[in-house]
Every structure is written in structure tokens, then in C-alpha cells.
Amino acid sequence: MSPAQHLALRCLTALLLSAIISALAWAAPPAADAANATTTVYLVRHAEKADGDDPALSPAGQARATTLAHVLADAGLAAVFVTDTRRSRDTAAPVAAATGLAPTRYDARDARALAATVRADHAGQAVLVVGHSNTLDDLAAAFGAQGLADLDESQYDRLYVLRGGGDGAHLARLRYGVPTP
């Protein structure tokens, strides 16, 4: 695929995802109280990484992180959560810059604590959580959505949208940026 075709594909993907995210935001009216408020969690794996210990993003990963910022531009994010790895922080950096939000670090080994924080501090709001191939399933489960499995090491294009309130979470499985297996 030529560079122009890659760019066209990324733009089309971003536009389609923006439309889907906007539709999801309109799907449920805001609840009257925090206990019944619908919270939206955008859950992604960090983007493609370079080699080494605590690596930065590769050029493909930097492009994916920029695409993520474009896709979530109109999502109305109230918070951005990242793990204590450079690849997670770098994936969220364009989103944080575009929204003016300072990313909050969370312990990747404690999905329940993150879910409790989001429920307590961001009920009825939208947040981005950047995780890892082997933590997305635990994160989704902590928010009440079952059925995710660990991602393969080659999978970077998954974007999960969890919408939930008092009755559990509803999961939408999307993809963004250049396709991966």
C-alpha cells in the first residue's frame, strides 16, 4: 500500500470512528445522579513500540497515537489514565495535548483500583485508559465487561468502548489507524 493510501485509510478510519463515538455519546441521556450515571471508558493498548527496555513508540506507534487523538477529539474526555511505562505515556501524549488533560498514572496490576477511581471521580464522564496486551481483559472485567482476551503481541489497532452505569458495562469493539492482525 502506498503512503498516500495509508494516509487516506487513516483519515477514513478516524472519520468513521469519530462518527461512531459521537453516536455513542448521544445514545444515552445523562443520568440524574452519580449512582446511575453512564460512564464511558475508551480502552486501548499502547501503540507500536521500539525495541529495548521501557521503549518509546516506533514511528508507526507515533502515527497511531496521533490518530487516537484525532479519533477522540470530540469524545469529551475528563481524564486520561496511563501505566508507568514510556510506551503508555507516549500513546496518551497527543490526546493529553489536544485536551489539555494531565495523564494520571495507575498500577497496571490493579485494574479494580483503577475502576474504583474512575467510578468515584468520573461517574457520568468519559475517560481514556491506555493499557497493555495482557491487561486490557482485566481492565474491561473490572469495569463490568466480560469476554475480552489478551491481545496478540502484533495487535495494536483495537479500541474498546465501555459504557456503563449501575447495570454493568456494554462493550463495543472498534479498530483505529493502520490495521494490524
Of 4 and 79, more confident: 79
Q: With a cut of 50, say whether residue 27 has pLDDT above it.
A: no
Q: With a cut of 50, say whether residue 39 has pLDDT above it.
A: yes
- With a CB cutoff of 8 Å and minimum separation 6, the contacts of 168 are 144, 145
For residue 55, what pLDDT is reported? Answer: 97
User: Could you give the dihedral angle defined by the CA atoms of residues 141, 126, 22 and 149, in that order, rounded to the nearest 10 degrees?
Assistant: -20
Q: What percent of the chain has pLDDT over 70?
A: 78
In the sheet that holds 104-105, the strands lie side by side as 104-105, 77-82, 126-131, 39-45, 158-165, 168-175
Fold of 3-175: Rossmann fold (3.40.50)
SS3 state of residue 41: strand
Q: How many CB atoms lie within 10 A of CB 82?
A: 25
When pLDDT is cut at 50, 70 and 90, the band that residue 53 belongs to is very high
Separation between Cα atoms, residue 67 and residue 169, nearest integer Å:
25
The residue ranges of every structural domain in the chain are 3-175
Q: Give this prediction's pTM.
A: 0.83
Q: Which three cell numbers stand for residue 20?
A: 461512531
Q: Which three cell numbers stand for residue 110?
A: 490493579
SS3 state of residue 165: strand
Q: List, for residues 80-127, the tens digit of each pLDDT value.
A: 999 999 999 999 999 999 999 999 999 999 999 999 999 999 999 999
Query: Is 178 in contact with 9 (CB distance < 8 Å)?
Result: yes
